[in-house]
Amino acid sequence: MSSDGPSRSWPGGLSGAARSVWAKHDYDMGGWLPLWRHMADSAAVAGRLWDEWLPLSVRRLVADALPGGADDARWLAVWLAATHDIGKATPAFACQVEELADTMRAAGLDMPLHKQMSDRRLAPHGLAGQLLLQQWLVERRGWPKRATTQFAIIAGGHHGVPPGQSDIYELARHPGLLRTPGSEDVWRGAQDELLDTAASVCGVEERLDVWQQVKLPQPVQVLLTALVIVADWIASNPDLFPYFPDGRATDPERIEAAWRGLDLPGPWQAVEPEGEPAEIFAARFDLPPGARIRPVQEEAVRLARAMSAPGLMVIEAPMGEGKTEAALAVAEIFAARSGAGGCFVALPTMATGNAMFPRLLHWLGRLPDERADPGAHSVFLAHSKAALNEDFVGLTRGRRGRVADVDRDGADDVWRPRADERATSAELVAHHWLRGRKKGMLSSFAVGTIDQLLFAGLKSRHLALRHLAVAGKVVVIDEAHAYDTYMNAYLDRVLSWLGAYGVPVVVLSATLPARRRRELAEAYAGAGSGSDGFDSVEADGYPLLTGVVPGAEPRTVLPAASGRRTDVRVERLDDDVEILADRLADDLSEGGCALVVRNTVARVHETAACLRERFGDDRVTVAHARFLDLDRVENDAGLLAAFGSPEKVAAAGGSRPDGGHVVVASQVVEQSLDVDFDLLVTDLAPVDLLLQRMGRLHRHQRGEDQGDRPQRLRTARCLVTGVDWTAAVPEPVRGSCLVYGEHALLRSLAVLDPHLAGTSGTGHTVRLPDHISPLVQSAYGPRPAGPPQWREAMDQARDEHELKQIEQRVKADAFLLNEAARPGRPLVGWVEAGVGDADDTRGGKAQVRDSRESLEVLVVRRRADGALTTVPWLGEGRGGLELPTEAVPPARAARAVAASGLRLPYQFTFAKVIDQAIEELETECVQAWQAKESHWLAGELVLVLDENGRTRLAGYDIHYTRSDGLEVHRAD
């Protein structure tokens, strides 16, 4: 079949009965669409999607499963799209609109009234279509029944959940829902006519006899299901495919106009970069004049070229070595060789995702494309606050499409926009159709939180779309060390599916335990734990590159050191804020910048209060996660402008503080913030995170031999605190144990103890990067560590840790997707007993993170006169805007409120407290803000502060200030 469509056309010689079957009805406008017309529309859209939108890698995977290769694959995709709604040719569906049902009755398709079919819920049209298609293949095409389900399941699952065995069994026991008793022959005749015509028009009549011998791999079934879903959604959009009172329309003008109106950007067609690695980096990234690329970057490019096929690459290198740029260069090579049509970069948090997004856009602006007319690349920022990101909002364009409730027994994906729309670059666009929680990841390029990737391992509705979204991309996973046992269970399962799809993956980490590296490699390769041939993956050495191609021997490469080295003097510091203040006063007596990292926000506030008394408010800055969204963005920008690299500080028009300055921060400074301090004080943390914090110490060269730093701070020093050093076994503070667990902290302390005691062979020095891998491997390895007198305490902590790991694995298994089954096994029950919709909200993240559901509010202020306003300090004219309570606020004010989101702390994660908090917040709800046109505020909880930034909620006193963020204390 040519890309122009089938050689025969609809409706062909369909009888009056077959023509009378309806598929779509607009209750408001009165229009309707016959089933044959929707079948034709869906088939035509699927053909266009296959030819112009689907990445080559996905098309190849489907083609490899079929005897006729690429031609078979396209024919099959179009035919499955044409037949997916055949279940609407049943009395269970048709009875829903009485006037259209009467027309069908007049044509001989008798059916009971809607109210007479109380059991019609047993026959959702997807499942009904699966059974009809199976019967047609058996009775009219001579297929064995066991061969039919792997194809018919695509119709069964096109509303997001493939049916389970019990669903199939129950419908089979109620044949009257498929064909009305007494009119079975007429119903069967109409159904067969529609399916016969679909086979003829789609050109698959001769292929059907061959396909009955095929065993479709489950990954192929998933991708075909997803393609049919996308085709159905587009063909169901009445703005693109209008309904007509009499159901008439003409081909091909109808299809051409719809496709032109959709204006869907095609996939990236990567051009494999040629030349030396240094030339590639110079062409893609802003390198300072005369700068040389790092050895790890050069070797990553060489390994990607040397691998027998695109696969998994693990890049381990110190902080600040340019791992992200290396990953993007590797992604170009992998995409060109695999046919991937885009790239997804997954990061631990929204903040790190926001920081990465402009870097991705910069890279995209320099990418070549093999398409003769590249047009636009679709881009997406994949997290729940994307509509507040200025870089992303600046890319939005297009119109809002109307998706009617057309199927009645299934939920449509209705896009509810939360972003301004304005025309911008024709090269990078956040496309109007590719937005929303289910469709956004289908964009060619995306940056988002790791949750978006982990959702691909969660049994949830429309999971096939998430698989299609990643199956056609190169996936980059940053900060791979940052995830616990629960999240790793999902990550490993997703990697197993990515390996089955042949998706190239690049994993980045500065501090990855060797055992974890092996687990990632085995998961991707589809090998069992401890499989032969993977011992080399646990190789020593640092930096380290690991290349894995399923079915081939893994490869490891040890790049040369870059020459960047920081010797960090480590010391114990008693956990007393007055002692800390004295030490800082001494060390900063000549000026300089110190970073104090605390493991809890409560300790941040306590420390900052003490230091302000000693140094003054203007010399102490606070940073943690309990700030309003806009305040957090401003905080990060302020840190970079004051404490970033000399070049970036100058470019931002900022300056490094004089006279001594202290930043007191939580873990928000650990990752993806390129900040540089003269002195580090840190609570004890797991050793990999402690090393990450050390990476913020003397990160950049400031003068020859750091000569631009104060004299007494030219040697990098890290003071470790948050520990009772006087105990027989040093005791981490309670808050740190609650965050990280005692086992990880004691193991960290055990491997650091020789350095803290000055007996390490290098005295009190931790040498970066030389000591990174030895410390991490020792801390996470199986061998005992620490002095003998610590053994009992460490063994007890280990037992508690292992028990928690078991609990996390069991908990994760509850909704964890199974691994891909053998070819030919249908997706029956694929997401059965799942979570429903995967949800990108604070609560939804608990689906793939071992955390309690948290409560998020939007913060406004109540003036003394009772008027509500946005908080007063917001910049760019957003602060202090008056908010009407009898109407929806103006767009600028509403958006400022939406950008003032705040996550309430752990006190509000307990069921009784969170229920009380929600009840109290709902009593303060402004009803006018709940109107459907209030895209920013409808459905949100609003926390109202008084003029002093205070309120009381669920028995807690709440205080918010611009300088310190949120503080919460139990009310007296």
Q: Which of 198-202, 229-233, 246-250, 778-782 has the lowest mean pLDDT?
A: 246-250
Per-residue confidence (pLDDT) for residue 411, from 0 to 100: 32
Per-residue confidence (pLDDT) for residue 292, from 0 to 100: 87
- Averaging pLDDT over each range in 292-296, 428-432, 846-850, which range is the top one? 292-296
- Averaging pLDDT over each range in 762-771, 898-907, 928-937, 943-952, which range is the top one? 943-952
Q: Which two tokens stand for residue 910?
A: 């307990």
CATH code of the domain in which 36 resides: 1.10.3210.30
Give the Cα separation of 451 and 460 in Å (integer). Answer: 13
Per-residue confidence (pLDDT) for residue 252, from 0 to 100: 81
- Whether residue 619 contacts residue 660, with contact meaning beta carbons closer than 8 Å, is answered with yes
- Whether residue 402 contacts residue 239, with contact meaning beta carbons closer than 8 Å, is answered with yes
**Is 479's pLDDT higher than 90?**
no
**Is 551's pLDDT higher than 50?**
yes
The larger pLDDT score, comparing residue 484 to residue 515, is at: 515
Amino acid identity of 596? Answer: V
Q: Which of 768, 800, 833 is the last residue of a domain?
A: 768
Residue 289: pLDDT band with limits 50, 70, 90: low
**Is 884's pLDDT higher than 80?**
yes
The residue-averaged pLDDT of 539-567 equals 92
Q: Which two tokens stand for residue 464?
A: 């096939």
Look at residue 233 and tell me if it is in a domain.
yes
The residue-averaged pLDDT of 274-297 equals 87
- Whether residue 177 contacts residue 54, with contact meaning beta carbons closer than 8 Å, is answered with no
Statement to judge: residues 545 and 628 lie in one domain: no
Look at residue 164 and tell me if it is in a domain.
yes
Q: Pairing mode, if any, of strands 882-883 and 765-768?
A: unpaired
Statement to judge: residues 229 and 324 lie in one domain: no
Q: Which two tokens stand for residue 900?
A: 């003032």
Q: Which two tokens stand for residue 465?
A: 């779309």
Count CB atoms within 10 A of the CB of residue 806. Answer: 11
Q: Please name the residue that has the structure tokens 């030490």.
A: 583
Per-residue confidence (pLDDT) for residue 587, from 0 to 100: 96
Count CB atoms within 10 A of the CB of residue 179. Answer: 24
Per-residue confidence (pLDDT) for residue 250, from 0 to 100: 62
Q: What share of the chain is helix, strand, coil (3-state, %, to 5)?
A: 45, 15, 40
Q: Which of 194-203, 209-218, 337-346, 371-380 has the lowest mean pLDDT?
A: 371-380
Q: Which of 531, 557, 583 is the last residue of a domain?
A: 557
| DSSP type of residue 473 | S
423-442 residue pLDDT tens: 222 245 556 666 666 788 89
Residue 846: pLDDT band with limits 50, 70, 90: low
- Whether residue 666 contacts residue 649, with contact meaning beta carbons closer than 8 Å, is answered with no
Statement to judge: residues 538 and 589 lie in one domain: no
Statement to judge: residues 608 and 514 lie in one domain: no
105-139 residue pLDDT tens: 999 999 999 999 989 999 999 999 999 999 999 99
Residue 763: pLDDT band with limits 50, 70, 90: confident
Statement to judge: residues 320 and 449 lie in one domain: yes
Residue 674: pLDDT band with limits 50, 70, 90: confident
**Is 374's pLDDT higher than 70?**
no
Statement to judge: residues 912 and 943 lie in one domain: yes
Per-residue confidence (pLDDT) for residue 909, from 0 to 100: 87
- Whether residue 321 contacts residue 296, with contact meaning beta carbons closer than 8 Å, is answered with yes
Amino acid identity of 836? Answer: G
Look at residue 412 and tell me if it is in a domain.
no
Backbone angles phi, psi at 759, to 5 degrees: -110, 20
Would you call 467 exposed, middle or buried from its count of C-beta atoms within 10 A (0-12, 13-18, 19+)?
Answer: buried
Give the Cα separation of 937 and 898 in Å (integer). Answer: 7
Per-residue confidence (pLDDT) for residue 418, from 0 to 100: 27
**Is 369's pLDDT higher than 60?**
yes
Give the Cα separation of 808 and 849 in Å (integer). Answer: 10
Sheet containing 428-429, strands listed edge to edge, beginning at the edge strand earlier in sequence: 428-429, 377-382, 445-449, 343-347, 474-477, 505-509, 312-316, 544-548, 555-557
Judge if the upstream peptide bond of residue 368 is cis by omega within 30 degrees of 0.
Answer: no
572-609 residue pLDDT tens: 999 999 999 999 999 999 999 999 999 999 999 999 99
Q: Which of 536, 557, 578 is the last residue of a domain?
A: 557
Per-residue confidence (pLDDT) for residue 245, from 0 to 100: 60
Look at residue 964 and tell me if it is in a domain.
yes
- Whether residue 193 contacts residue 14, with contact meaning beta carbons closer than 8 Å, is answered with yes
Q: Which of 86-90, 390-394, 479-483, 899-903 has the lowest mean pLDDT?
A: 390-394
Give the Cα separation of 568 and 793 in Å (integer). Answer: 29
Per-residue confidence (pLDDT) for residue 424, from 0 to 100: 26
Look at residue 794 and tell me if it is in a domain.
no
Statement to judge: residues 150 and 229 lie in one domain: yes
Per-residue confidence (pLDDT) for residue 140, from 0 to 100: 96
Per-residue confidence (pLDDT) for residue 824, from 0 to 100: 93
Chain-centre distance for alpha carbon 401: 24
The residue-averaged pLDDT of 713-739 equals 97
| DSSP type of residue 372 | S
Look at residue 958 and tell me if it is in a domain.
yes
Give the Cα separation of 300 and 313 in Å (integer). Answer: 8
- Tell me how far CA of residue 236 lies from CA of 33, 42, 85, 146, 305, in angstroms: 10, 8, 11, 32, 44
Over its C-alpha atoms, the chain yields an Rg (Å, rounded) of 30
Statement to judge: residues 172 and 303 lie in one domain: no
Statement to judge: residues 449 and 379 lie in one domain: yes
Nearest to 624 by CA among 593, 646, 602: 602
| DSSP type of residue 265 | P
The larger pLDDT score, comparing residue 247 to residue 92, is at: 92
Average pLDDT of the chain to the nearest whole number: 89
The residue-averaged pLDDT of 397-416 equals 33
Give the Cα separation of 849 and 843 in Å (integer). Answer: 10
Statement to judge: residues 154 and 247 lie in one domain: yes
Per-residue confidence (pLDDT) for residue 954, from 0 to 100: 95
Range of the domain at 251: 16-262
**Is 408's pLDDT higher than 50?**
no
Residue 540: pLDDT band with limits 50, 70, 90: confident
Statement to judge: residues 124 and 219 lie in one domain: yes
Nearest to 429 by CA among 492, 478, 370, 381: 381
Residue 375: pLDDT band with limits 50, 70, 90: low
Residue 422: pLDDT band with limits 50, 70, 90: very low
Per-residue confidence (pLDDT) for residue 371, from 0 to 100: 62
Residues present in the chain in total:
972
Q: Pairing mode, if any, of strands 965-970 and 956-961?
A: antiparallel
- Whether residue 163 contacts residue 130, with contact meaning beta carbons closer than 8 Å, is answered with yes
27-41 residue pLDDT tens: 777 789 999 999 999
Give the Cα separation of 214 and 918 in Å (integer). Answer: 54
Give me the number of domains the chain comprises.
Answer: 4
Statement to judge: residues 110 and 215 lie in one domain: yes
Per-residue confidence (pLDDT) for residue 876, from 0 to 100: 83
301-322 residue pLDDT tens: 999 999 999 999 999 999 888 9
Q: Which two tokens stand for residue 655?
A: 């300056």
Look at residue 411 and tell me if it is in a domain.
no
The residue-averaged pLDDT of 771-776 equals 94
Chain-centre distance for alpha carbon 112: 46
**Is 510's pLDDT higher than 70?**
yes
Geometric angle at alpha carbon 413, from 409 and 418, rounded to 5°? 145
72-96 residue pLDDT tens: 999 999 999 999 999 999 999 999 9
**Percent of the residues in the chain that have a pLDDT greater than 70, as a whole number:** 92
Look at residue 623 and tell me if it is in a domain.
yes
The residue-averaged pLDDT of 397-413 equals 34
| 505 DSSP β-pair partners | 312, 475
**Is 231's pLDDT higher than 80?**
yes
Give the Cα separation of 691 and 777 in Å (integer). Answer: 13
Backbone angles phi, psi at 416, to 5 degrees: -110, 100
145-176 residue pLDDT tens: 999 999 999 999 999 999 999 999 999 999 99
CATH code of the domain in which 719 resides: 3.40.50.300
Nearest to 529 by CA among 815, 819, 908: 819
Per-residue confidence (pLDDT) for residue 524, from 0 to 100: 97
Per-residue confidence (pLDDT) for residue 400, from 0 to 100: 35
